[in-house]
Chains A and B, each alone.
Chain A
Amino acid sequence: MERGFRGCGHRALSACAAICLAAATFGLSIAGAEDAEVPVRLQIDLLGRVLPYDRNFAARAGEELHVLVVIKSDDADSKRLGAQILAELRARSLLGQVRHTTELVSFSDARTLAGLCKARRAGLVYLSSGLRNELPAIAQALRGSDVLSVATLADDVKRGAVLGFSASSGKPKLLVQLAQARSQHVDFRADFLRLAQVVTP
């Protein structure tokens, strides 16, 4: 049994290593599925409560807030999360106590997106996943505009979105990038900043 155990221990180690290597190799050979840390349903609930904290929200939204949900059409994750965001937005008649309309937009380039925001008078751009590499350009293009950009993935706030959501200690957290917010004429009240975590690029 003593000998058997030693053999078994080595077998265990070998089996662990082989399984991990095989799985890791297979896993790395394909792109993974990105998922939101905070359920989209809760994200939309949070967003509805956050919007009134923006001093410019009422003026920006007017009587009806137009929301662009931006996806990357060649990215299945992005389309999946975008569909969830769209469905959750449409399930609510009011967002930030204002009526709203929603539109799904495929991302082509940052300048086009900024132009679309202006043309549609969008007050809110909800960024799905898959835009990690494009976010700095999007942030640049949206500077000077009057729109709130919201990211469904936490890491995208650091890359240029104004607002986002992360989970820590099993609870949702609000992330905000203040410099980008100011450049997009988003002016959060001080009592909101007490509830949010400020992120720097």
Chain B
Amino acid sequence: MSPRLRLACACAFLLFGLLPPTAARADSGEELESLLEQPIVSTPSKQTETAALAPATTTIITAEQLRTFGIRSLDEAIDYLSLGMITSHPLHAVEIGARGVQLTADYGNHVLLMIDGNPVNEPWNGTAYFERGAGVPFELVDHIEVILGPGSVMYGSQAMLGVINIVTKRARDFAGLHLIAEGDTQLPQAHDGSIQTSPLGAWGHGVRGSVGYGSTFTLFGEPSELTLQAEYYRNDGPHWQLGPQVWGDDSITGRPKSWGPRGTPGTWGGTTLDQHYTLAPDAYLKLQIGDVVATLRGSLYQRATPYLDSIINSAGDFDDPNGRERDRFLQSSVMFSKSLSSRVVIGSRFYGEGYDYRWFNNREAAEDCPNGFSNGCRRRLLGEGVVGGGDLHLSYSIPAARAVTLLGIEGRVRHIGSELQLYDYATGSSAPAQNHYTQTDGLIAPYLQQSLSPTDWLDLNAGLRLDHDTRFGSKLSPRGAIGITPWHEAHVKLIYAEAFRAPTAYELNYADPADQVVSPNLGPESVRSLEASAEQRFGMHRLFFGVFRSWWFDMVGYATLDDAQTTAAIAAGQLAKGATEAFRYENLGTIDNYGLNAGYEGAALRRHQLQFGVNLTEAYTRVHYGSDPSQPMTVSPSLFGNARVSYAFGGDAPTLGLAAVFLAKRPADRAYDGGFSVMPYAPADLELRTTVSGHLPGVERLRYRLSVSFASAAHSAYVIGPYLYAVDATTRAELAPMTRLQGFLGLEYVLF
């Protein structure tokens, strides 16, 4: 353990140790206010309970906080308001990490994202998006539950870093017809990172229009409610100055390498005009009749990335207006439950999903295309999936012992398909599709959980889930948690949990005759975690401190085929003749991770007009893949946190919110394997956001928000351009630019 970690642990334990039980006692009014601040969660154990007693470290982000601090997407909520999680922004879909672990280019598939308890991760690659691509209108959000650590015991695959559940509002909290309009802008920056104010046409700009409706009524004699919202968002990013990176000649044609119609032959870079945008329309509907709840969500997420990087476009034309990714989701569910007796409840959830993904990538350079495409090529990667499933569970409670036994089983069937299409760049003629596959697979997963609170000071929870998945076999996910209330308003927890991520259909089947063969024997990734935490409330104040240790096994990474394997793959037709170096996915990585997190939040003044909070995480993480030496984790900051303060002036006066997020200096994604003479690091970053919100004086139904954000750092932790790896000792890495100064104005009018 590093000296800094040791010192922080010692200080925290000293602080908690010095808090005598009586010091935490407040008067009756403060005690009531304190209880009213107790977050209620339903995600950690699939039952409603206070966060302090739940078998996981949980952060609640409220709708009020989202509004006060100008939060408009899930990644912003995580960065500015959550404990232990952080996102990185490569100017397209963000990447998410938790407590020092972030797997670059994982498309968010190590976090389970849910909306109203329904998983959002798609079936092909387990992808979840955390920015606009999350596809849920934010005015509908009641609160967000952010659960740190393994969560497979209740939810199966993906829940390795944590589980995020977006809970939408009840109709009573979203009553009427809501009309929403927003506009945003982002300022461009020069190559050196300085912010530019002219020309005006280079500014990024976005618009959002949305309509929502909420109503309660009686249907079939049952109290019923409907909430729905649809939105359209489009943003065209600012113009970016990238490069130049001198590449030289195309190895196939012998001429200066082409970077497309907008590129300079032989040199990558220039000013991007069109290849940075986001288009994200979505809609969400929830209908509740009695205790039957049906949901329907549809979303489209299209975006273009303005540079080459290791995640999306490893090659492609410069500023290609047609280069993009697109995801479409259609998800539905129906949930209901019924009490069979005073002790037994049965419940169920049925769900269906359709998903498709397309990647459009154009390369005029012959050397970036397969043999035979001397004019260059246009690549279209398609992925699709259809899912149907159900979850049946039964709970048996013994109220006198506060004991609840939950027994359930989940079954799911998936149909997946994918292929890579290639077209001649100049003529448009197509070649036979590559890497075409379809597969139908499924899983069945029984689970059992026992919670027990025999006394007021002891809460126990133990669970086990067995996933039998036709993709890889079986996997057990246990969890055990002990909660102790040593004195008034104090809670201590000890939690052990395991989780896994099933190999994705993409990982099992992706191949490229040039350099990659399929990996049919890939197994699941696994994580074990042990954590301890202590929480003390005193009136409106809450102090939290936790330490964690996690061990990650069988992480999927690239393994190089030896000569014999390469020869065999060529003979089997898996690799093209002449292939000299080839790879496949294997379970070859381990991660060792430990650290601490701490948080403090409170309110002051008579009516609690002043509210504040701070979260901090420090982690030590080492990654070890195959025969490579172990190394620190890239992109993920080892020290990060956020802080916020807000003041409500009251009446017609606005609420002022100031939020900040801090990320320490961190190695870029290609820091250790890029071979650069100067190891690339992303600088420490402090992002500040000021938001003013309230009702327009005299117009009670019209609410507004005005927000401005500033980032101190000009670059993020991603190496960009054709030189993702150094070719000689002089090659310097170029890091992706970041949006430094941006703002938005939003209006919401409730029509009736």
What is A's interface to B at a CB cutoff of 8 Å?
A: 1, 4-5, 8-9, 11-13, 15-20, 22-24, 26-28, 30-39, 41-42, 45-46, 49-50, 52-53, 76-77, 79-80, 82-84, 86-88, 90-91, 132, 155, 167-174, 191, 194-195
Shortest CB-to-CB span from B475 to chain A, Å, is 26
The stretch of B60-68, B236-244, B661-669 that contacts the partner chain: B60-68
Question: Which residues of A sit under 8 angstroms from B752, Cβ to Cβ?
Answer: none
Contact A80 B384 (CB under 8 A): no
Q: Is the CB of B48 within 8 A of A36?
A: yes
Given contacts A1-B419, A31-B338, list 17 more A-B pairs with CB under 8 A.
A8-B354, A8-B384, A12-B386, A15-B352, A17-B332, A23-B334, A33-B345, A37-B40, A38-B48, A42-B35, A80-B341, A80-B345, A91-B456, A170-B41, A170-B142, A194-B607, A195-B33
Q: Note all chain B residues with C-beta closer than 8 A to A84.
A: 397, 399
Contact, CB under 8 Å: B339 / A80: yes
- Asked if residues A33 and B386 are in contact (CB atoms below 8 Å), the reply is no
Q: Within the assembled complex, what's the spacing in Å between the Cα atoms of A150 and B307? A: 61
CB-based contact B334/A168 at 8 Å? no
Contacting pair B353 A12 (CB below 8 A):
yes
Give Cα A91 to B453, complex, Å. 11
- Find chain B residues with CB under 8 A from A22 CB: 350
Asked whether, in the complex, the Cβ of B345 is within 8 Å of the Cβ of A39, the reply is no
Question: Which of A1, A16, A23, A168 is in CB contact (< 8 Å) with B417?
Answer: A1
Is there contact, CB below 8 Å, between B36 and A1?
A: no
CB-CB under 8 A from A1, the residues of chain B are 382, 417, 419, 421, 433, 436
- 9 pairs of A and B residues whose beta carbons are closest in the complex: A12-B354, A32-B291, A170-B143, A23-B334, A87-B399, A79-B342, A76-B339, A27-B336, A16-B352
Any A CB within 8 A of the CB of B194: no
Would you call B388 an interface residue if the criterion is a C-beta within 8 Å of the partner chain's C-beta atoms? yes
**Given A23-B348, A169-B64, A28 and B341 contact (CB-CB distance below 8 Å):** no
Interface flags for B349-360 (1: CB within 8 Å of A; 0: not) read 011111110000
Q: What chain B residues lie within 8 Å of A23 (beta carbons)?
A: 294, 334, 336, 348, 350, 390
> A9 — which chain B residues lie within 8 A by C-beta?
354, 356, 384
Q: Would you give 12 A-B contacts (Cβ < 8 Å), ordered by A?
A: A12-B355, A19-B334, A24-B334, A28-B290, A30-B338, A31-B290, A32-B222, A35-B291, A79-B339, A79-B341, A88-B399, A171-B39
Check A52–B28 contact: CB distance below 8 A.
yes
Asked if A39 and B40 sit within 8 Å, CB to CB, the answer is yes
Cβ–Cβ contact A13 & B330, under 8 A: yes
Residues on A with beta carbons closer than 8 Å to the beta carbon of B33: 195
Of the residues A38, A52, A194, contact of B40 by C-beta under 8 Å: A38
B337 at the interface (CB under 8 A from A): yes
Could you say which residues of chain A place their CB within 8 Å of the CB of B335? 27
- Return chain B residues, CB-CB under 8 Å to A42: 35, 38, 40, 50
List A contacts of B223 (CB < 8 A).
132, 155
Shortest Cβ gap from A8 to chain B (Å): 5
Contacts of B330 in A (CB 8 A): 12-13, 16
Q: 8 Å CB contacts to A: which residues of B134-177?
A: 142-143, 145, 167, 170, 173
Q: Closest approach, in angstroms, between the C-beta of A20 and any C-beta of chain B?
A: 5
Considering the chains assembled together, what is the distance between the CA atoms of A5 and B220 in angstroms?
39
A80 to B399, alpha carbons, bound, how many Å?
A: 9
- Output the nearest chain A residue to B50 by Cβ-Cβ distance: A42
The one of A32, A41, A91, A172 that contacts B336, using a Cβ cutoff of 8 Å: A32
User: With contacts A27-B292, A195-B32 known, is A33 near B39, CB below 8 A?
Assistant: no
**B417, closest chain A residue (CB):** A4
A84 to B352, CA, bound (A): 35
A80 to B276 alpha-carbon distance, docked (Å):
56
Partner of B415, one of A8, A38, A170: A8
A38 to B290, CA, bound (A): 18
Q: Are B142 and A169 in contact (CB under 8 A)?
A: yes
Query: Is B563 in contact with chain A by the CB < 8 A criterion?
Result: no
| B542 to A: closest C-beta gap in Å | 12
Partner of A170, one of B32, B40, B397, B453: B40
The reply to whether A169 and B62 form a contact with Cβ atoms under 8 Å apart is: yes
How far apart are B394's CB and chain A's nearest CB, in angstroms?
A: 11
Give the most central of B330, B345, B354: most A CB within 10 Å.
Answer: B354
A28-B456 contact, Cβ under 8 Å, with A39-B40, A41-B402, A170-B167: no
Q: How far is the CA of A172 from the CA of B223 in the complex (A)?
A: 21
- Cα-based distance from A11 to B414 in the complex (angstroms): 12
B6 located at the interface, meaning its Cβ lies under 8 Å from any Cβ of chain A in the complex:
no
Residues of B within 8 A of A174 (CB): 36
Q: A20-B352, A86-B399, A168-B142 are in contact. Are A28 and B388 (CB under 8 A)?
A: no
Cα separation A83 to B400 with both chains bound (whole Å): 8
User: Contacts A9-B356, A87-B399: A33 and B35 contacting too (C-beta < 8 A)?
Assistant: no
Contact with A along B285-307 (1 / 0, CB 8 A): 00001111010100000000000
With A32-B291, A172-B35 given, is the CB distance from A39 to B386 under 8 Å? no
Given A16-B332, A191-B29, A4 and B438 contact (CB-CB distance below 8 Å): yes
Q: Which residues of B contact A13 (CB under 8 A)?
A: 330, 354
The CA-CA distance from A17 to B725 in the complex, in Å, is: 49
- A8 and B341 in contact (CB under 8 A), knowing A23-B350, A42-B35, A171-B62? no
Report B-chain residues with C-beta under 8 Å of the C-beta of A86.
399
Contact in complex: A34, B402 (CB < 8 Å): no
Whether B39 lies near A170 (C-beta < 8 A) is: yes
Residues in A whose Cβ lies below 8 Å from that of B220: 28
Neighbouring B residues of A79 by C-beta, 8 Å = 339, 341-342
Instruction: Judge whether B36 and A171 touch: CB under 8 Å.
Output: yes
Q: Is B340 part of the binding interface, using a Cβ–Cβ cutoff of 8 Å? A: yes
The CA-CA distance from A82 to B400 in the complex, in Å, is 12
Q: How far is the CA of A41 from the CA of B35 in the complex (A)?
A: 11
Name the one of A15, A27, A37 contacting B334, with C-beta atoms under 8 angstroms.
A27
User: Which residues of B sit under 8 angstroms from A82, Cβ to Cβ?
Assistant: 342
Contact of A19 among B39, B343, B388 (CB under 8 A): B388
| Residue pair B48, A28 in contact (C-beta under 8 Å) | no
Contact residues in B for A41 (Cβ distance below 8 Å): 50, 402, 453
CA distance A173 to B292 in the complex (A): 24
Q: Is A15 a contact of B290 with CB atoms below 8 Å?
A: no
A46 to B386, CA, bound (A): 46
Give bound CA distance, A32 to B502, whole Å.
34
Most chain A CB inside 10 Å of its own CB: which residue of B33, B48, B436: B48
Asked if residues B142 and A19 are in contact (CB atoms below 8 Å), the reply is: no
Does B700 sit at the interface, judged by CB under 8 A?
Answer: no
Query: Considering the complex, which residues of chain B in the window 397-411 have a beta carbon less than 8 Å from any beta carbon of chain A?
Result: 397, 399-400, 402
Q: Indicate whether A173 sits within 8 Å of B417 (C-beta atoms), given known contacts A8-B356, A27-B292.
A: no
Given contacts A12-B386, A32-B336, A42-B50, contact A172 B342 (CB under 8 A): no
**Shortest Cβ distance from residue A120 to the other chain B in the assembled complex, whole angstroms:** 22
- Residues in A neighbouring B35, C-beta threshold 8 A: 42, 45-46, 49, 172
Complex CA distance for A31 and B386, rounded to whole angstroms: 31
Given the known interface contacts A80-B397, A86-B399, the answer about A39 and B339 at a Cβ–Cβ threshold of 8 Å is no
B31 interface hit (Cβ, 8 Å): yes
Q: Closest approach, in angstroms, between the C-beta of B288 and any C-beta of chain A?
A: 9
A21 — nearest CB in chain B belongs to which residue?
Answer: B334
Interchain CA distance A74-B286 in the complex, whole Å: 30
CB pair B354–A80 under 8 Å, yes or no, is: no
- Is B37 engaged at the interface, CB distance under 8 Å to the other chain? yes
A191 → B minimal CB distance (Å) = 7
Contact at B334–A20, with CB atoms within 8 Å? yes
Q: Contacts A76-B342, A168-B170, A169-B64 known; A5 to B382 CB distance under 8 Å?
A: yes
Q: How far is the CB of A2 from chain B (nearest CB, A)?
A: 8
Measured in the bound complex, the distance between the Cα atoms of B400 and A20 in whole Å is 37
B250 CB-CB contact with A under 8 Å = no
Distance A24 CA – B36 CA, assembled complex (angstroms): 35
Contact of B337 among A16, A28, A33, A49 (CB under 8 A): A33
Residue of A nearest to B349 (CB): A23
A130 and chain B: residue at smallest CB distance: B339
In the bound complex, CA of A197 to CA of B349 (Å)? 33
Contacts of B382 in A (CB 8 A): 1, 5
Q: Which residues of A contact B370 (CB under 8 A)?
A: none
